[in-house]
Structure formats: structure tokens, C-alpha cells
Amino acid sequence: MAIRNVSLDGVATIEIARPEKKNALTQAMYRSMTEAIVAARADQNVRALLITGQPGIFTAGNDLEDFLREPAIGADSPVAGFMQALLGCEKPVVAAVTGAAVGIGATMLLHCDLVYLSDQAQLVLPFVNLGLVPEFASSLLLPRLMGHARAAQALLLGEPIGAADAVALGLATAILPSNDVLAHARRMAKRFNTLSPDAVRDTKRLMRSGSRGEIERSIEEEAAQFTARLRSPEAREALQAFLQKRPRG
């Protein structure tokens, strides 16, 4: 099972568990994560969600071979379903990241409430390198959080964002030693067992209500551009070159 889902002590843990492929996400894995989020939202015993990967890797982003076979990111696609489920989650979402978070592995963190990184973690947004455009409203949120110039380094040049910069720029909550990240994130998630769930829910809604419409519009616009780019010869060549481990033609 590439996605493990366990609810214990008020915390629903969604673990990306495909280390042999660097936790690359398939369409089936997106469906599993969506189902896990929906179930956690409906479970009154769950006070918080925790998303994590494997030691040394959060996720390498999309499994490109799978994605090229089923490239849809439209409103009915598994990717879009996951985005909407995470975006609409009223309960707090905590992320534990001990390595690289690539593509949607990085952009999903923008929609988590508490993000804990190891000192080895990196956020990588290689969309332009693959002939594509950003997704999950990252083209809106990153310039807003980081400023245009720093966001351009990440989105236009594909330069990684290190853990220290991610915290300094407001993209993550704190840095911890790799061996401590998951345990700390779980402790923080369990703290919501002691807090009023309605107050937590309403506070999260208030924190995000001002930008929700903008985020949804950005996701839609990005998806349209992403789909168009996928059909382009430029993107097809870039993706095939990446898979074949050769220079772009």
C-alpha cells in the first residue's frame, strides 16, 4: 500500500510510503489520500491530520510515467480531488518533512497549517524545467509569502528552497533534527485534543476566508495552463528527457 492511513489518539496520519520510487505520487495514491482526508474530516474522534513521508524523502512529486499515461488535472481528476479535499479541510493539518518535497510535495505544504522540516529538507518547484507551470495556487501564494524576487528564483529558475529559508520566509513552522521531526509533528497534532474543536475550526476558517476565493481561482487558472502545457511539444520533450535521463533536445 503506497498510502498508509491510521487514526490514533485523535490524529489521522497519512503516510506516503513508496520509498523505492522516492514517494512519487500516482493517480491511485491521490485517490487514497483524498479518501483519507474525507474520512478524517467526517470522524468526530479525529482532531488533526498529519501528513508525512519516509525518512529522507517527503515526495518526489508526480510519478511522471503514470502522469503521462493519465495526464488529466481537470476538475474531475484525482489530483484536483486531492487539492480540493486538502484545501477544504476544516481540521488542522500538520506536515512532517524530512527530505525533499518536490512539485506538489512542496505546494501542498502551502495548504497545511503547521509544517515541520528537518535540517535536510528542501522544497523544489521544477515546473518550468519540465515545460510546465506551477499548481495548487503556488503562483499566487509564493510571491505573496516570499516576495516576487524570491518566488521567481523558486518558480522561474527552479532553485530549491532550503529548510532555513523556508522557515524564515514563512513557508514552514520550524526546523528540527531529522530523527525528531515526525515525533514533534505528532506531539503538535495531539495538542488539538486539548483544544476546543469548534474554536479551532472557526479560527482556521477565519484565517483563510479572505484568500479562499483567490486561491480557488488560481488553482483553476493554473490547471488550465498546466493542461495546455502538457500538450505542448516543449513539455513532452522535457518530460521524456527527464525520464530517459538525457539532455533536452
SS3 for 15?
Answer: strand
Alpha-carbon distance 64 to 21, whole Å?
A: 11
Residue boundaries of the structural domains of the chain: 3-177
Residue with cell 480557488: 216
Q: Measuring CA to CA, which residue among 220, 222, 237, 246 is closest to residue 103?
A: 222
Secondary structure E strands in 48-202: 48-52, 57-59, 93-97, 100-102, 114-118, 122-124, 161-162, 174-176
| Spatial contact of 122 and 160, defined as CB atoms under 8 Å apart | yes
Q: Record the cell numbers describing residue 72, joined without a space.
A: 488529466
User: In sequence order, what are the residues at sequence separation of 6 or more whose Cβ sits closer than 8 angstroms to the Cβ of residue 104?
Assistant: 25, 59, 61, 62, 79, 135, 136
- Specify the length of the chain in residues: 249
Q: What is the pLDDT of residue 26?
A: 95
Q: Are 22 and 37 in contact (CB under 8 A)?
A: no
Listed residue (49, 81, 33) closest to 200, CA to CA: 49
pLDDT at position 72 is 64
Distance CA 6, CA 165 (A): 32
Which regions in the chain score pLDDT beneath 70?
A: 71-73
- Please give the pLDDT value at position 49: 99
Q: Are 115 and 171 in contact (CB under 8 A)?
A: yes
Domain 3-177 has CATH 3.90.226.10: yes
Residue 69 pLDDT: 80
Instruction: Report the distance separating Cα 204 and Cα 195, nearest Å.
Output: 13
State the first-to-last Cα distance of the chain, in angstroms, to the nearest integer: 37
pLDDT at residue 70, rounded to an integer: 75
> What Rg, from alpha-carbon coordinates, does the chain have?
17
Tell me whether residue 227 is exposed, middle or buried, using C-beta atoms within 10 angstroms of its C-beta: 0 to 12, 13 to 18, 19 or more.
Answer: middle
- pLDDT in the model for residue 76: 86
